[in-house]
């Protein structure tokens, strides 16, 4: 039943939103494969230029596409048969922004596990135009260890 509901929703979208959703699924798949099969230093090159942790991310003031990209990746990620965790989502959003010439920054952070100080948790999020497009939930808990930006 969920599949039928999802197909109806997809058919009700306009062509540009359908294309954006399909693009998001494609980039999520590529990101997941890269995370599993490629050394992280190669994935890091995909992310862009590593910049100082305190540096301000570029501002993109008039980009109505930002919200559409964020929504498309979130919708696609919740429906993929593979795990589309924060890093895959961040890489997909980042790639879709870059393809459209929009600036932003991808952040990688770490935090101690809640209740277990021996456990370390990692998180990724993307910020553009002063807004967090993906990975906003709980990102404040994480200390930024790497920041990648692109123009």
How far, in Å, CA of 66 to CA of 102, rounded? 9
Residue 78 above 80 pLDDT? yes
Point out the least confidently predicted range of 47-51, 79-83, 146-150: 47-51
How far, in Å, CA of 79 to CA of 25, rounded? 9
pLDDT 10s digits, 87-121 = 999 999 999 999 988 888 999 999 987 776 678 88
Single pTM value for the model:
0.83
Query: Containing domain of residue 6, as a range?
Result: 2-150
């Amino acid at each position: 039943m969920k599949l039928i509901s999802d197909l109806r929703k997809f058919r009700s979208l306009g062509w540009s939103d359908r294309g954006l959703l399909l693009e998001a699924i494609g980039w999520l798949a590529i990101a997941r494969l890269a995370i599993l099969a490629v050394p992280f230093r190669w994935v890091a090159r995909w992310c862009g230029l590593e910049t100082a942790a305190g540096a301000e991310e570029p501002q993109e003031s008039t980009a109505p596409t930002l919200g559409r990209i964020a929504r498309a990746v979130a919708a696609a990620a919740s429906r993929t048969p593979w795990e589309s965790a924060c890093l895959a989502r961040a890489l997909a959003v980042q790639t879709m922004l870059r393809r459209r010439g929009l600036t932003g920054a991808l952040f990688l952070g770490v935090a101690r596990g809640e209740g277990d100080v021996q456990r370390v948790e990692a998180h990724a999020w993307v910020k553009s135009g002063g807004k967090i497009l993906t990975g906003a939930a709980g990102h404040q808990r994480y200390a930024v260890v790497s920041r990648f930006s692109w123009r």
